[in-house]
Chain A
Amino acid sequence: MLIPTVPETKPIKLSVRNMAFSYGQKKVLDGLSMDIHAERVTAIIGPSGCGKSTFLKCFNRIHEVSSAVNVSGDMKIDGVDIYRGGIDEVDLRRRVGMVFQKPNPFPKSIYENVAFGPRLFGVSDRTTLDGLVEDALRKAALWDEVKDRLKESATGMSGGQQQRLCIARALAVNPEVLLMDEPCSALDPIATAKIEDLITELKESLTIVIVTHNMQQAARVSDYTAFFWLGKLVEMDLTERIFTTPRVQMTEDYITGRFG
């Protein structure tokens, strides 16, 4: 396992040390260690089934909702252990937002989708909500397209708009980290380009971790890239180095399309 040895001015937001993950008897992730820096985009690439989505979901403990899981080792956010540091998982998920593979807006209006998060935390004042909704939609580069139809159902939007709405919805609760699980895999190239532009803008104020199947996408949007294979981290480095001069042969084979 190789960790980048480049000077970095941004602080470490998420740190992982010797982390392993299993569903019942089945070990999915093993011996993972990495640092993820604030205001940077970290991409996770690797063939299907290598555990990259599972790894992403460990950061907001969302897999605990549906099944019993076992995480060992350390996973820290701002130096506090996510699993054993006394962090409430509900509070954690507010701080660590998530955008899913398939756009999943609620079958409610555009406005209600974005207002959903703030409402969970007791914001009910109309003016405050209006402001939060507008800000979130602006940050997600969606405001101009939807400002005249906020009352319309979100499910009537195009796939790309739905995904940006989901980003706006996540941003509305002011997260510190945004996890993106193959956010463009269901979108066309134009919608994908918009999301990628958005990622670049959002990293000004957020820590972003993105799982992607698309290596060009990783190369375009990320600062760091981690290559996973069979539940292990093979190599992590600055994105430009991973794509030009990887240190591990397997990484080179994967990014040049020789396997995977």
Chain B
Amino acid sequence: MRAMPVFRRSRSSKLVDRLMRGVLWSIAILFVVVLILFVGAILKQGWPVLNLSFLTKMPETLDAGGGIKPQIFNSIYLVVLSLGLSLPVGLGAGVYMAEYAGKGRTLNFLRLCIETLAATPSIVLALFGMIVFVQAMGWSFSIRSGALTLALLNIPVITRVTEVSLLGVPRELKEASYGLGATKLQTILKVALPYAATGILTGLVLTAGRAFGESAILVFTAGTNASAHFPDFRLTVPGETLSVHLWYVTSDGTLPDAREIAAGTAAVMIIVLLSLNLLVRLVDRIIRRRTR
């Protein structure tokens, strides 16, 4: 019989292991610190401006002391409209790709299209929206031009998230469903989608956050003016959002308190995004507790 070697781990391999752990920790901490400083700076600058009148007043065009009420409304309205348009399309496309397309060329081609669309810079989508909706369709700068173009930004993300979440559903669960005599549609609706729901929901909130913060697309499609009526649900009026307002007041330069308004607007956006992310965590936890 051959003699067995002595299996001893070298000192350096333990050291490298520890070192790696330290490096990863430092990167994580650095990242969190930067984030806190960043958010802190925005909130600190915006805090003195944030009060009820800032949130509930109409903006001024020349004088100081204007509010951001219609911009808050437009931001939310556009996110809801664009998600309303992109959710059915994205969800449907994702279900098709995960469950119906089968493997092969068609699926690869579809995935390439979706990924290209997802990677398209938003300014390109913005110009597309301006040429097609604003000019060719003659809708000018309006909520509907903005919502449709914004939907183009959302669709690939929702599609991909839906597909990936559905592919993560364990095969055993689908087999159990088929084994009981379920059809494909029943299996998708009753087993696969509920299981994938938390993943899809998370993706949806991330999409909502991205749409909420989007500026380039909306500058060119929804415009830089807000309706003088409130709340204005018409789809044909221009709809300046928070992020567009933030950009517009600082670059236009006619408002004496542009800096303060920008700081306050940025703070509001950060607060909304943070709450949105906390909300999704909460919902996710509740769903998980109920179903797993």
Contact = CB atoms under 8 A, between A and B. Distances in A.
A116 interface: yes
Contacts of A98: 175, 179
B182 A90 contact: yes
Interface string A86-107: 0000110110011010101111
A166 B176 CA distance: 9
A6 B183 CA distance: 40
Contact of A107 (B171, B178, B179, B292): B292
A102 B172 contact: yes
Given A108-B291, A155-B292, A120 B179 contact: no
B181 A120 contact: yes
Contacts of A170: 179-180
Interface string B182-219: 11001000110001000000000000000000000000
Interface residues of B, number: 20
A71 interface: no
Interface residues of A, number: 28
B173 interface: yes
Contact of A106 (B173, B178, B181, B186): B173
Given A106-B191, A107-B195, A90 B179 contact: no
B47 to A, nearest CB: 44
A216 B77 CA distance: 68
B181 A104 contact: no
A104 B195 CA distance: 13
B174 interface: yes
A66 B292 CA distance: 25
A100 B176 contact: yes
B179 A97 contact: yes
A121 B172 CA distance: 21
A117 B181 CA distance: 7
Interface in B144-187: 170-183, 186
Contacts of B181: 90-91, 93-94, 117, 120-121, 173
A99 to B, nearest CB: 8
Nearest to B176: A104
A105 B172 CA distance: 9
Nearest to B182: A120
A93 B173 contact: no
A217 interface: no
A109 B191 CA distance: 13
Contacts of A93: 178-181
B171 to A, nearest CB: 7
The 8 closest A-B pairs by CB, nearest first: A94-B181, A104-B172, A98-B179, A117-B180, A107-B292, A93-B181, A104-B176, A107-B291
26 contacts: A60-B179, A62-B179, A65-B175, A90-B182, A93-B179, A93-B181, A94-B181, A97-B180, A100-B176, A104-B170, A104-B173, A104-B175, A106-B173, A106-B191, A107-B173, A116-B177, A116-B190, A117-B180, A119-B190, A120-B180, A120-B190, A121-B181, A155-B292, A166-B176, A169-B176, A170-B179
Given A62-B175, A116-B190, 19 more contacts: A66-B171, A93-B178, A97-B179, A98-B179, A100-B172, A100-B176, A102-B172, A104-B170, A104-B173, A104-B175, A104-B176, A106-B176, A106-B177, A117-B180, A120-B180, A120-B182, A121-B181, A155-B292, A169-B180
